[in-house]
Amino acid sequence: MKLIIASNNKGKIREYKQLLEPFGYDVVSQREAGIDIEVEETGTTFAENSALKARAIYEITKCAVLADDSGLVVDALGGEPGVYSARYGGCDNDADRVALILSKMKDVKQEDRSAHFVCTIHFIKQSGEEIAVEGRVYGKIGYEPLGDNGFGYDPIFMYEGKSFAQVSTDTKNSVSHRANALKALIEKLSQENSGGNK
């Protein structure tokens, strides 16, 4: 079944393909589906933003849609960058956003560098039924970018001694915030199907 991901982020699309294609979905990006709109993320929470994006694409296509909103929450920065992760500090690339976090954290002790990634998924079935789930992964902010296997804030997010850009793709896809949100989604879909509600 065709499933449109409400994004053109190559790193994100790659992860969703790896995670969802084994379940029989033909995963395509917004661009691949021929949709050229930029949904304004006016929500104040991850859940509100993912719902806005999913509903906008569904209205156009009436096709199964998955939208997520995700970001980094740093405790020492009062929850920043949060819902503004993708446009934090007015920076227009990942490297500058990473550098901004590190500069703000330069005097923060190791024990106070806790952070977590959040991912909310808003899934709309072809029938129009909506499902919302959330996933998280907890770690710490490192002192310098490490690794080249990730995107976004992965190089400074430390998980069990390695950055998210250093861990293997398989490891990241099993423990990430996106993976945890997807597990919650798949669990809900499985429960509905086993209950006879197709």
pLDDT in tens, 62-113: 999 999 999 999 999 999 999 999 889 999 999 999 999 999 999 999 999 9
d(CA 163, CA 130): 34
Q: Is 69 a residue of the active site?
A: yes
Please give the Cα distance from 115 to 176 (Å, whole number). Answer: 13
Q: Is the confidence at residue 144, as pLDDT, over 50?
A: yes
Output phi, psi for 112, to 5 deg.
Answer: -105, 15
Q: What is the mean pLDDT of residues 155-164?
A: 96
Active-site residue (options: 26, 68, 69, 170): 69
At 29-44, the pLDDT tens digits run 999 999 988 888 899 9
Domains in the chain with CATH codes: 2-194 (3.90.950.10)
Does the pLDDT value for residue 198 go beyond 50?
no
pLDDT band at 195 (very low <50, low <70, confident <90, very high): low
Cis, peptide link before residue 81, omega less than 30° from 0: yes
Tokens representing 37?
């709109």
Place 25 in a pLDDT band, splitting at 50, 70 and 90.
confident
What would the two tokens of residue 101 be? 């976090």
Q: Above 70 in pLDDT, residue 155? A: yes
Q: Which residue has the higher pLDDT, 192 or 7?
A: 7
In the numeric block, the tokens 């798949």 are attached to 186
159 band by pLDDT with thresholds 50, 70 and 90: very high
Mean model confidence pLDDT for the chain? 92
The encoded tokens of residue 122 equal: 């808003």
